[in-house]
Chains A and B, each alone.
Chain A
Amino acid sequence: MQFHKILFTFIISTFALTSFAQSSTGISGNVKDSTEVISGASILIKGTKTGTLTNASGYFELNDINPGSYTIIVSYLGYISQSKQVSIKENQKLSIDFLLKKDLHQLGIVDVIGKTKSQELKESGFSVNTIDTRKLANTTADLNQILNRSTGVKIREQGGLGSDFKFSLNGLSGKQVRFFLDGIPMENFGNSLSLNNIPVNLAERIEIYKGVVPVELGADALGGAVNIITDQHTKKFLDASYSYGSFNTSRAALNGRFTDQKTGIIFNVSGFHNYSDNDYMMRNNPKYDAPIKVNENNQVVEKDARRFHDAYRSTMGQFDAGLTNKSWADQITLGLVYSSLYKEIQTGASQNKVFGGVNNRENFLMPTLKYKKTDFLLKGLTMNTTASLSINKSQVTDTANNIYGWGGKGREDLIAGELNGVKSIFHYKNNASSIRTNFSYNIDDNQSLNLNYTFNHFGRTGREELGKVQSNTFDIPNTISKNIVGLAYQANLLDNRLSTSVFAKYYAFSSFVRDAVYYSSENSWVKNDTRSSKDYFGYGMATRFKLFPNAGVKVSYEHAYRLQESEELFGNGIDVSSNIDLRPEQSDNINAGLYYDQIINKHHFAVEASYFFRNAKDFIYFIPTGGIYSYYDNIGKAKINGVEAEVRYSYNQLLDASVNASYQTAKNNQQYEPGTTIRDQTFGDRIPNQPWLYGNANIGIGKNDLLQKGTRIQFNWSTQYVHWFYLNWESRGSKESKNKIPQQLVHNAALSYSFNKGKYNISAECMNLTDELTYDNFRLQKPGRSFFMKLRYFIK
């Protein structure tokens, strides 16, 4: 309570001082659109060079104005400019607000709301990419495909639609990067609601935080975080689409909202349905040591073969209902998400390990409650809470009675499964609960505090249906709980030219594991139910200095953790033993970057470039001993240096183009062989099996009102390049024998036609136009050329 009083006194004093300072002749005001404030809008006194930009709250001030009559012009990209006549007297403090309207010609092409937020994030101290997914709404992409075109991001997919993937960001990957859907952690979602199946239409924008993650996301993210943001502000809209294409792939997506202005009642609905046979041709490619081996007449023949057991279906439905604009809540909604998945598994870790019967089914259910209130208890205090419960049930069926190869069904085997030693049907149930509460408090126009608390609880139970597993360690839930508290202080100094945020994060976790296995010298291996609690402290900062109104430099740092998971600590009681000495993965992450944004007449030119450094250690690796028990250990260290840059250019509504490239050197920083004093001979080698040079180029040409008023025809071309990389250590072994993941140069093209002001859209798309043989992973071929058509209806 004492803190509260001090804070309050401090705020009152600050306000008093601020008011005292504001005594000269001037004009101030706010700029917003129908739903939210616009930051970065240009304010200009017509016929003069006097002007300013609105701050993050949409507020502007023009001081020391001579008395007289003026025309104030307010403009912002994507909005219709507005001007107002004013007359000001000596020592008068004039307040004037502007309500800008969107430029409807840009509907379906540039999402203006996203742009304002994108701009704001770009000018924050964090190293962040924001992707406005609205302008990609007419494509057939899922979020993975879009993220994959962003700087510093590489997503390695194992196959076609719905295939397993590994996300990497500035050299750190897998569990080291955390994902969120509107701030709700996705790690407990399972596979039925994932980056590889969420269609582009459901998201408004994606934020990718690299290495340094704001406290609001409340996560143990070692290498960064990705937050998928859905449209939260458009009052009424409906976006429905359907696409069909190669490999019998169909995708339907629906997204809409209805808000009743009078009562404040709000309904959101969204959903998707994806299906693909994924029966693409697997090409025999001995050149890159990726042959397709087919057994014919008891001989091995290398030839092309078609995938036959890779069908994929995922379905999701979401419904929210709530109230907006009440005295006690800006918005409160109660929602329910349901998703389900069916996935056949065609291959193991290599394309010549062929399965013909294994499949996975998942069902996911998640009720959520969201509450937001500005001026909560105190003026300037905003509270934002999200709570969710989820259940994910999965079933892995491994009961095929035959052995399969690329030639199809082989001999009968009534004992062994394809995945497991015996036939089995595993059922798992994951229960998760998550609460995130965020308080942001504007101390004054230039200072703010942000306190974030996140609680995650995860429990897993399981059983084997055919009775093959007698020592079931998942008969009661194995659980893990994480409490993460973050506090950030942000200050804007030097007339907003310098913006700095410092933050600290406290991580606490506890876990319970059933029948964890330990070695005891008296009793050999013993099993015990085991609990553990540990805590850690992280910290960081992000700062931005504007060299000019449209250019700045940014530096950010975080000492980040990825907490141990319960299986990593305690094993599974079956074949993985505990390692209670296991530490969390940790990394010191530094980003330094600059941005520049210039609009000259109708030309818009933007550049962003950054350098990143990661000093990561204590990677948690699975150690397959080959014996009765394997275990996890902290054995990896890496030092990563990298640069990335993006250049964008657009001309009016006609042309937009961008090029980006990312380069990194991730070096093995492990000096000694694990647990010994033997020098690791690969110390200083490039970390193998990781792309380190890649880039993307996109160009779009479009024309409004070409055939008819309210229409737009748009052509987009994109090219992706990934440089080849070694599968294993570059310094070891003969050059001739070293395997490479070959270079990828993939082109995609799309043509879309919108009419009735973006209400109706039809598009055609070709992915992998030149039918390139592409591999993200060694000996796991991705689909060749494919075609899709998409129909979309959009109204708001």
Chain B
Amino acid sequence: MITHPAPATTPAVRTAAPRPAPAAPRPRRRARPAAYRTLSRLLVVIIVVAQVYPLAWLFITSLRTEQDFASGNPFALPSALTLDNYARAFAVGNLGQNILNSFIVTMGANLLIVVLGMMAAYAIQVLGFRLSKLVRGIFLMGIIVPVQIALVPLFIDYSKIGLLDTYQSMIVPLAGFALPMSVYLFSSFFEYIPRETYEAASLDGAGPYRIFGLITLPLSLNTVVTVVLVNSIFIWNDFIFANTFVLTEGLKTIPLGLQNYIGTMGKTDWTATFAAVCVTVTPLLLVFLVLNKAMIQGLESGATKG
């Protein structure tokens, strides 16, 4: 979708910027970048529209009547708006239960990711020990390990110890596979806490536990927000672990619940499905829109430090 405008940019970049004569660089550089800027502004608009339009279309479709959707141009504005689809969405599936389950799994996994990630980073980066480099490496390796490797072994282990079809069966691997990134983000942040801070606290008689609670924890709240937001996106939308380890209707999270809308009788109720999608996306979307500045900043600094 985005590729169409993309190839056009390279020649545009080239032609829009002839070399300014070294003797009089100023006036020339003013004129050309203006054209360049208009062009790039236009391109950005096109790309963003192409990027966001499918989502807008999804939302509009959720407000269409069924007949309107079935007969007609997909780009047309709806002839009438209706909330019937939302009523049907709630009537057909277990949306409430699905959302609750997703909340429980997201909260549980996030708690583990933040607390355990911070503890490991504290041990590695602040306390330090002889093999800390090795342990850090073992954690970092996890960033590139694909989750598929754990599906069969965990399925076997879970069925042995009776953990199959529980919240924990989703929370543990979700947390485990997110830990490496969390350890990485926390330990790169801890590097920036100056040694003097710890020395001062130590002189006041604080031990490692109090320093963790009174200095490290409060200072890293921003990183906590980043870690929680980024992971929430992945966990809220996790499909593969839930699809593998959840067997009963009552434990289904949102991604599994949404599948109920795909017609068992062959015909899918698309408008109701899209209404359900809109409902399930809303909580995450609200959090994202409210906190996106914090998240974007965290992502940017986290990635560029490394």
A and B interact physically: no
Listed in ascending order, the chain A residues whose CB lies under 8 Å from chain B are none
